[in-house]
Structure 1
Amino acid sequence: MDRTINERINYVHERLRKNFDKLTRIAIAIYDQHTDKIKTFVHSTDGKPPLSLYEAKLSETPSLQHIVETRQARVLDNLCDQLLNHSEHSRKVLEAGYESSYTEPLYFNEHFIGFLFCNSKEIGYFDEAIRAELSAYAQILAGIIAVEFISIQTFNGALITARTFGRYRDEETANHLHRMSSYSRVIAKLLAADFGLSDEKVEFIYLFSELHDIGKIAVPDSILLKPGKLTIEEFEVMKTHTVKGRDMINLMINEFSLDGLYHIEMLKNIINYHHERFDGKGYPEGLKGDEIPLEARIVTVADVLDALTSKRPYKDAWSFEDAFTYLENNAGHQFDPQCVMAVLNNKSEFFTIHNKYID
């Protein structure tokens, strides 16, 4: 199996350390254009990383904005003297004992995709020789990341095309997908410590969650758009969207030669299992508890929360408090209790996302 992006970063770090033994950290943060956020993604660090599951708005970080605008790498030879702001990022980097840094913007086909951050615990470490080496590797790393993300964009593009030509219409507006994918990311971040989720895995849960209902393309409009309650027979047809979605993804993988995408099993799990129930009474396989992949359990809660609090042709939007009560009452039955508690203990984050993407 191909290595994860994080494993590739570790490999690059090992190669660089052969010539530059004081290079103690390299890390990549990616840029999300939809939210204007820079997010920690992958790293290779001696000891504990100073930052994980961290994000900040690019527009509120002038020093990084300047790097993007000029497309020039930044070298700080003495962090204690040169880091003048007191952002969380700066504070944690200093607390970790780093003395110097190298930061380079990552571009692919003229599109800004993130930053390469390098640190050393030695003052003035990033001389001309190491800067030249790091700049070359930065372009390689930008390509690696872009290929992974372009593959995901290919899936999204194929989905949009299928929706257009298949006259696919249902309640899944663009804002619904933005909300539930953002909800999924928040839940994944909150569970990361308990389940050992890396920044990389959290990000792919966020990216893949929007494709959870791709199989609905194959459901007839008479069932998909029915304003009233489905008959038993109609509901059986509706339930097939999970396995049909999985089959469509397998077809797309073959047709677009995307079998090298490392987290493809995560995508399949989200599509196939987001209607499983924690008590084993869901579909398509009747999985129970931890048998259901974590990413599917996360997306289930995120999807239902947004469905409940959104207006549909057949119902009014529930209040958030009523939706939270529903999640709490069904924890351990329909939902993973830990996913539910992550929501209930952090309600304000979900309000904020909902208000950002109002239909």
Structure 2
Amino acid sequence: MNNHYFQTAKPLNQQLQQLMHRMHAHAPKIARVSYAKYNRDRDTLVTYADSEFQLWSELHHEKRLSKLDQLKRSAAMGVPRIIDDLAYLTHCDRLAFLRHKGYRSSAAIPCFQNHRFSGFVFLNAYEPNVFDSKSLLSLAPYIEMLQFAVESHSQVVKTIVEFADRLRTGSTVYCRDSYYHGRRMRAYTKVIAEYVAEHRNLDDEQVEAIAAFAQIHDIGKTQLPESLMYDTKPFGSQELMSARSHIDNGIKIMDEIVSSVGNPSHPSITLLNQIMRFQYEYLDGSGYPYGFRQEEVPLAARIVTVANIFDSMTTHKTYKQACSVTEALLELEKMVQQGKLDALCVDALRYKQEYLKQVIHKYPEPEHWGYEE
């Protein structure tokens, strides 16, 4: 198998910072390097990595490319967009952010993967008139290295998720809800991770990885018998013990998948391990399998735990009706008061109730659990 990515890598923000220092040999006035990925499905540019990664609150940003005329033209023509002096531009909130941070000039270099636009590398300097076509041409090798670093990380996460999805769809217990549950989990987890990012120092790279891995968090259930998956009654003690075995199953499956893609030493693998091992732990120690408490439970697992409980509450089961979004949030609040869940993670959902309803409507569970008409 040809693994087209770095087998060992530092976090992307650190890689960008190091590349910026190397760029100084050709362009010593560069003060910031960042990368925004293009999401083709939503036609949005999404911040992804930044050499100034201490600025947690300013990292997370998303905008439709169709609303950004100059960048849209740059992407279509494949030529950089250069701004000599940001002081004269007031039409964009992102430019206002850059001016507030003291930056005066900017260059946006469009990137392409397999001849398709994939995002922008942004360069900023504190002085005006820093960038021109000649200076950007001298930086081309570094831009290529930066793009490969970004694509490398994305490919690691994408490959693991694709392998897991392929395995899951081949399972006898796979049904439409397995797919829809994964999509809902990704959406809920993204909401929570973006909200807590500023407070808990999560960067865009980590937010994206946590959301991607959340959709395959329950892959261990593919090893459970159909009779257990489609049981119409709440579990007794023996059934509960059997059901909980899916944690060990999931860890084993993911270890095998990671091994099959070359055991890359990437920060995202740490997040994956945290989710798979600790997603059923509660902060008061009443969870399983380890009974961890408080800071022993990693943030990635806390996020997925809240998302999963919310999804369970707001979908129908054969033995219970779905709660409304409001009712589910009230129940989650009770669990916060009991010391079980991270309050910040629950707060994140409260502020996005209309969006949560849209996700539930877009990805509904089947009318009959486990069966397709």
Q: TM-score, normalised by structure 2?
A: 0.87
Correspondence for 1:344 = 350
Contact 2:82 2:106 in 1 (8 A): yes
Contact 2:56 2:201 in 1 (8 A): no
Contact 2:185 2:311 in 1 (8 A): yes
Correspondence for 2:75 = 68
Correspondence for 1:226 = 231
Superposed CA deviations along residues 125-150 of structure 1, whole A, max 9, x for unmatched, are: 11233211333322222222112212
Contact 2:13 2:53 in 1 (8 A): no
1:344: Cα distance to partner? 3.0
Correspondence for 1:189 = 194
1:259 counterpart letter in structure 2: P
Distance 1:112 1:354 in 2: 31
Q: 1:50 to 1:227 in 2, by over 3 A?
A: closer
Q: Secondary structure at the match of 2:118?
A: strand
Gaps of 5+ in 1: none
Distance 1:117 1:356 in 2: 34
Task: State how 1:136-175 maps to structure 2 within 5 Å.
Answer: 136-169=141-174, 172-175=177-180
Gaps of 5+ in 2: 1-7, 366-373
Distance 1:230 1:129 in 2: 68
Correspondence for 1:335 = 341
1:346: Cα distance to partner? 4.6
Distance 2:14 2:255 in 1: 25
1:352: Cα distance to partner? 4.8
Correspondence for 2:138 = 133
1:65: Cα distance to partner? 2.2
Q: TM-score, normalised by structure 1?
A: 0.91
Distance 1:70 1:248 in 2: 44
Correspondence for 2:17 = 10
With 164-173 and 12-21 compared, the bigger mean Cα shift is at: 164-173
With 114-123 and 192-201 compared, the bigger mean Cα shift is at: 192-201
Q: Secondary structure at the match of 1:130?
A: helix
Correspondence for 1:273 = 278
Computed over aligned residues only, the root mean square deviation of the Cα atoms, in angstroms, reads 2.4
Contact 1:274 1:300 in 2 (8 A): yes
Correspondence for 2:4 = none
2:117 is aligned with 1:112: yes
Q: 1:235 to 1:225 in 2, by over 3 A?
A: same
Contact 1:108 1:143 in 2 (8 A): no
1:356: Cα distance to partner? 5.1
Which one has more relative contact order, counting CA pairs under 8 Å at least 6 apart?
2
2:245 to 237, 240, 243: 240
Q: 1:246 to 1:177 in 2, by over 3 A?
A: same
Contact 1:25 1:118 in 2 (8 A): yes
Task: State how 1:85-104 maps to structure 2 within 5 Å.
Answer: 85=91, 87-104=92-109
Contact 1:97 1:121 in 2 (8 A): yes
1:42: Cα distance to partner? 1.3
Runs of 4+ aligned residues of structure 1 deviating over 6 Å after TM superposition are none
